[in-house]
Amino acid sequence: MKITAFAVFAAALCAPLSVFAQPVLPDCPVASGAYYLQGTTWLGMDPSHSTGFKTTNVAGAAFSYGAAKARVKAQFREARSPYQLPDSSFAMCLVGTVDTGRDITLARFQEEKDRRELSMASYRMWTGINAQLDPKVLIPITVEKKGEKIYLVTSKEPLPLGEFILFTIIPDVAAMAKANQASSLGGYDFGNHAK
């Protein structure tokens, strides 16, 4: 009787833990490329690059004697990526595309009607250029090395609705903020609009 009661107690104690267990993800593909998880299948992705950069609030910064910020934003075509997640969970495999997992960064786009934008730098007359991705747009991720140049990237929390880009290198934002310099910002874009 005591053994049966103990077994029932142990089962009741462990049951809630299984509800929160992470699902087992399929192994990453072996062919070189970037893949995102759609159900139980890894689907290949092509990289996306910015179409240009724009500066905003230049007049506001000038008329406030440097108190207000001017911002530099990278622009990406189309309002939504062709790669859409089925839900708010995110998993991506990078196979042979990066040498280290330490530079992988996930950021959320600002969505416009016909494009997506990402704030890359801000400028104040008296303090100069602050060239970094806005910490407010960064999404916490986990990067696991699964083999030689094979990395599994997952979000630490469910993704909010929106459009995102995964960088495989930390972008040189300072170089992109300089005037008259032809540059492009690239990564792997995707969206989460699942209800």
Q: Give dist(CA 45, CA 156) in Å, integer.
A: 22
Q: Is pTM beyond 0.85 here?
A: no
Task: Report the chain's terminal Cα–Cα distance, integer Å.
Answer: 48
Instruction: Tell me the average pLDDT of the chain.
Output: 79
Q: Which pLDDT band, with edges at 50, 70 and 90, does 52 fall under?
A: confident
Q: How many CB atoms lie within 10 A of CB 50?
A: 23
Q: What pLDDT, in 10s, does the model give residues 91-115?
A: 999 999 999 999 899 999 999 999 9
Which residue has 């690239």 as its token pair?
Answer: 186
Q: Which pLDDT band, with edges at 50, 70 and 90, does 175 fall under?
A: low
Contact 153, 92 (CB under 8 A): yes
Q: Compute the CA torsion angle 99, 166, 49, 96 (nearest 10 deg).
A: 30
Q: Which pLDDT band, with edges at 50, 70 and 90, does 159 fall under?
A: very high
Q: What pLDDT, in 10s, does the model give residues 109-131?
A: 999 999 999 887 666 655 666 66
